[in-house]
Amino acid sequence: MTGSEAPPSFRLAYVPGVTPAKWVRIWNERLPDIPLTLVPVSTAEAFGLLRDGGADAGFVRLPVDRTDLSAIPLYTETTVVVVPKDHIVAAVDEVSTEDLADDIVLHPLDDTLDWERLPGRPAIERPATTADAVELVAAGIGVLVVPQSLARLHHRKDLTYRPVTDAPESRVALSWPQDETTDMVEDFIGIVRGRTVNSSRGRTPAAAQPKPKAAPKRSDPGSGARRKPATGKSPRGGGSAGSKGGAKRGKPRRRP
């Protein structure tokens, strides 16, 4: 390696709500010589970052444009509604979108849920971010429906959340540029898929060596196999091996 070459490193992007700590720890244990750098990115900017080479791979939210990006779906999140602790919703275990019909449901510009029809009543203006929407919930302006990880990320003591049974769900995936599936990307794919350190981790395995042929087994006298008679006698009688049916041998008859 010359002085102008940079040492290898792996850049991992992640969107709000995703916690990559477990996978980063495994990477550091298996590949301690290759540093992993975390790159936080907004949901809207994540795909552009991957396409521009700003990260080698990233945790994103589906859907992913498969034209130039690859993706492996990892898990699906529960959708919840964030409400003040004194809200009527806080008294139940779960709600439906119909239960929110009379509430103002905030719809931030960075919303990650794919709604066919928004629940509740719309606010006068859309908050710019989920963090801004949470502040409005705390001020009593309305309620907010988000993936559970985002409710936890923006947790406040004066707020709580409950599952929404019929809301769309958010799915998290690992994504990377299709033409940049490097060995390091393959290594990280193996980690998120739970492969062990001794597995091929998705790389092309080496050609298998032919197995040596087993040595021929010696016949065991006690195995029931038929053995060739030690003498010239036929196995069926006392005659020679060349006589039929083991006929008895006698003196040759003298011709008259």
Give tens-digit pLDDT for 51-62.
999 999 999 999
Average pLDDT, the chain: 84
In a domain, 180, yes or no: yes
Domain that holds residue 135: 79-168
Do 48 and 117 belong together in one domain? no
Q: How many CB atoms lie within 10 A of CB 24?
A: 18
Tokens of residue 63, six digits: 């859907």
In a domain, 49, yes or no: yes
Do 131 and 62 belong together in one domain? no
Average pLDDT over residues 197-213: 50
Helix (H, G, I), strand (E, B) or coil at 183: helix
Do 52 and 92 belong together in one domain? no
Burial readout 183-203 (b: 16 or more C-beta within 10 A, e: otherwise):
ebbbbbbbbbeeeeeeeebbe
Burial class (CB in 10 A: 0-12, 13-18, 19+), 167: buried
In a domain, 212, yes or no: no
In a domain, 3, yes or no: no
pLDDT digits (tens, 9 = 90+) for 104-113: 999 999 999 9
In a domain, 158, yes or no: yes
- Cα–Cα distance measured from residue 107 to residue 145, given in angstroms and rounded to the nearest whole number: 8
Do 24 and 72 belong together in one domain? yes
Per-residue confidence at 7, pLDDT binned at 50, 70, 90? confident
Do 152 and 181 belong together in one domain? no
Do 69 and 176 belong together in one domain? yes
Q: How many domains does the chain have?
A: 2
In a domain, 233, yes or no: no
Do 58 and 106 belong together in one domain? no
CATH number at residue 86: 3.40.190.10
In a domain, 2, yes or no: no
Q: Whole-model pTM?
A: 0.73
In a domain, 84, yes or no: yes
